[in-house]
């Protein structure tokens, strides 16, 4: 049987989880069971049903996120359900939970998977490696398999069914860490889930000039991001730093303003579907990675882009 981990954020299933459901129903040939921690909001389970999930099991009694506890509890449910292949959306949470589930299930595991498997000779998946600079083809040889798919890389295919919801109590596994407090990252749209990202670098000269970047992002319904030096200097919060040492993103559109395009920056953004670079230096390395380039001063180009985006929106 095929299962998914249905991560929820304040009771909501994000698009990445629906992609996992869609992937699971394309590789599975029977019931698809989803496991979530806590209760989803009203109507959320129906979203999973749209992508082929027949059963949702909600684990109650886990008070806070702890990867060890989640790993044990989720794996127990999956094993009890007779699941032999599990699909995760490769989110931050899944990066620590999926390997633990894989160990408990004695499964073969592949993360960063970007395509449906090739099953004519074994179970072969394509995965992104070296921060998206290359691909590896990997066979999952054990009977049990854990596959973590990169958000925004596989197609959502509807396969509507009806869903049965069951609630069970956690077995009470003890955690090894305690969350003492949390601070929610700012920004209206979480960077890792954004379809469009407007990002800026040192070319913006100072934090006082970010109004234009935010305005363009607001009009486009985009999240904002920045290069490492920008967050190091405190111009923008660290949660916006993308690249090798920051967040890796894969939006449909990445707009880079006044960012040189150093290899460490590109490592986190080069898998974006379409890249637009705006830079006053025609030799800036970003132009080699970009699909579209605008050679010009950001302080002249941005106001024009903002008014064109406003006009297009209206």
Ligand X SMILES: Cc1cc2nc3c(=O)[nH]c(=O)nc-3n(C[C@H](O)[C@H](O)[C@H](O)COP(=O)(O)OP(=O)(O)OC[C@H]3O[C@@H](n4cnc5c(N)ncnc54)[C@H](O)[C@@H]3O)c2cc1C
Alpha-helical (H) ranges within 55-161 are: 67-80, 92-104
b/e sequence 242-268, b meaning 16+ C-beta within 10 Å: bbeebbbbbbebbbbbbbbbbeebbbb
When binding is defined by CB under 6 A, the residue of 133, 281, 291, 304 that contacts ligand X is 281
Site string for ligand X, 235-254 (x = CB under 6 A): --------xxxx--------
CB nearer to ligand X: give 15 or 202. Answer: 202
CB nearer to ligand X: give 71 or 201. Answer: 201
Which residues, 6+ apart, have CB-to-CB distance to 208 below 8 Å?
A: none
Ordered strands of the 164-169 beta sheet: 134-139, 124-129, 108-113, 145-149, 85-89, 2-5, 32-37, 55-60, 164-169
When binding is defined by CB under 6 A, the residue of 100, 236, 250, 265 that contacts ligand X is 265
Q: Is 291 in the site for ligand X (CB under 6 A)?
A: no
When binding is defined by CB under 6 A, the residue of 67, 110, 223, 284 that contacts ligand X is 284
When binding is defined by CB under 6 A, the residue of 118, 166, 291, 297 that contacts ligand X is 297
CB nearer to ligand X: give 126 or 202. Answer: 202
**Least distance from ligand X to the Cβ atom of residue 227, Å:** 3
Q: Is 264 in the site for ligand X (CB under 6 A)?
A: yes
Count of positions on this chain that bind ligand X (CB under 6 A) = 26
Q: Is 258 in the site for ligand X (CB under 6 A)?
A: yes
Which tokens sit at 16?
């990445």
When binding is defined by CB under 6 A, the residue of 36, 97, 212, 259 that contacts ligand X is 259
**Could you tell me which stretch among 8-16, 111-119, 158-166, 276-284 binds ligand X (CB under 6 A)?**
276-284
When binding is defined by CB under 6 A, the residue of 100, 268, 270, 290 that contacts ligand X is 268
Q: Is 15 in the site for ligand X (CB under 6 A)?
A: no
Site string for ligand X, 189-228 (x = CB under 6 A): ------------xxx-----------------------xx
Contact 163, 45 (CB under 8 A): yes
CB nearer to ligand X: give 171 or 245. Answer: 245
Radius of gyration of the chain (CA): 21
Q: Quote the CA–CA distance of 53 and 34 in Å, as a whole number.
A: 7
Q: Quote the CA–CA distance of 291 and 311 in Å, as a whole number.
A: 23
**Least distance from ligand X to the Cβ atom of residue 229, Å:** 5
Q: Is 34 in the site for ligand X (CB under 6 A)?
A: no
Determine the Cα angle at 238 with ends 16 and 263, to 5°: 80
CB nearer to ligand X: give 100 or 265. Answer: 265
Which residues, 6+ apart, have CB-to-CB distance to 220 below 8 Å?
A: 196, 198, 253, 309
Q: 3-state DSSP call for residue 150?
A: coil
When binding is defined by CB under 6 A, the residue of 229, 237, 239, 287 that contacts ligand X is 229
Which residues, 6+ apart, have CB-to-CB distance to 257 below 8 Å?
A: 198, 199, 200, 201, 203, 204, 213, 278, 279, 298, 301, 302
User: Which residues of the chain form contacts with ligand X (CB under 6 A)?
Assistant: 201-203, 227-230, 243-246, 258-260, 262, 264-265, 268, 278-281, 284, 297-299
């Amino acid at each position: 049987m095929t299962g998914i981990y249905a991560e929820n954020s304040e009771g909501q299933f994000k698009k990445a989880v629906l992609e996992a459901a869609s992937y699971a129903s394309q590789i599975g040939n029977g019931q698809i069971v989803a496991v979530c921690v806590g209760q989803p909001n009203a109507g959320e389970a129906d979203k999973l049903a749209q992508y082929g999930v027949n059963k949702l099991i909600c684990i109650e009694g886990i008070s806070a996120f702890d990867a060890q506890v989640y790993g044990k509890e989720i794996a127990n449910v999956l094993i009890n359900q007779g699941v032999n292949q599990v699909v995760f959306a490769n989110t931050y949470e899944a990066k620590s939970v999926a390997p633990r589930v894989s160990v408990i299930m004695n499964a073969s595991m592949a993360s960063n998977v970007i395509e449906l498997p090739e099953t004519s000779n074994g179970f072969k998946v394509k995965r992104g490696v070296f921060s998206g600079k290359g691909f590896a083809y990997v066979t999952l040889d054990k009977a049990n398999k854990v596959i973590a798919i990169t958000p925004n890389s596989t197609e959502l295919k509807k396969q509507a069914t009806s869903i049965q919801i069951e609630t069970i109590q956690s077995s009470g596994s003890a955690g090894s860490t305690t969350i003492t407090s949390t601070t929610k990252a700012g920004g209206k749209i979480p960077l890792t889930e954004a379809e469009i990202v407007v990002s800026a670098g040192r070319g913006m000269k100072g934090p006082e000039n970010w109004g234009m970047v935010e305005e363009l992002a607001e009009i486009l319904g985009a999240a904002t991001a920045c290069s490492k030096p920008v967050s190091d200097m405190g111009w923008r919060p660290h949660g916006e730093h993308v690249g090798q040492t920051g967040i890796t993103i894969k939006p449909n559109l990445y707009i880079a303003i006044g960012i040189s395009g150093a290899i460490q920056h590109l490592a986190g953004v080069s898998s974006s579907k379409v890249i637009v670079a705006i830079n006053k230096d025609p030799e800036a390395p970003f132009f080699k990675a970009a699909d579209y380039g605008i050679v010009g001063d950001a302080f002249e180009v941005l106001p024009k882009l903002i008014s064109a985006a406003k006009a297009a929106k209206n």
